């Protein structure tokens, strides 16, 4: 299998972001105001641009590239390559077990046949509170 370079990865991410931008533009042309009312704030939140003390990760990079595609200049290939190289060179400690959500931990442990997972205990009904069903 061929090794992918950071430049090739950056070009791939830009291509994906441009195709996502085409979808955004199509929605914007059919529903005026979509980008300003719905997409911009959500995308900035996903890209974690408002967090001043936050270090960008590989998970944030696609959203950041899509935001660049929405500008007049477009994404900067050189800057994305530099960001990728810095992120890939950075050594991060493994995720602590307490930080892993329970559903993911159960799914991961089910892959290991030697460690079966006990089902989560069922919630007991609260006495004195009638439950109503709606139709």
- Which pTM was predicted? 0.59
Give residue 39's pLDDT band: very low, low, confident or very high (50, 70, 90).
confident
Per-position DSSP letters for the chain, written without gaps between them? -PPPPHHHHHHHHHHHHHHHHHHHHHHHHHSTTHIIIIIHHHHHHHHT-S-TTPPP-TTTHHHHHHHHHTSSS---HHHHHHHHHHHHH---PPPPGGGS-HHHHHHHHHH-TTSPPPPPPPPPPPTT-------
Whether 59 has a pLDDT exceeding 60, the answer reads yes
More confident residue, 43 or 94: 43
Segment 4-25 mean pLDDT = 91
Q: How confident is the prediction for the chain on average, in pLDDT?
A: 76
Give residue 9's pLDDT band: very low, low, confident or very high (50, 70, 90).
very high
């Amino acid at each position: 299998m061929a090794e992918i370079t950071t430049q090739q990865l950056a070009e791939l991410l830009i291509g994906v972001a441009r195709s996502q931008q085409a979808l955004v533009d199509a929605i914007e042309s059919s529903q005026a105001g979509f980008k300003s009312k719905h997409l911009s704030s959500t995308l900035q939140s996903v890209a974690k641009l408002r967090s001043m003390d936050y270090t960008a990760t590989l998970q944030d990079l696609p959203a950041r590239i899509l935001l660049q595609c929405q500008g007049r200049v477009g994404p900067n290939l050189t800057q994305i390559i530099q960001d990728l190289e810095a992120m890939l060179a950075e050594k991060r400690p493994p995720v602590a077990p307490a930080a892993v959500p329970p559903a993911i931990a159960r799914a991961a442990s089910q892959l290991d046949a030697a460690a079966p997972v006990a089902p989560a205990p069922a919630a007991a009904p609260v006495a004195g509170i009638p439950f109503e069903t709606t139709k």
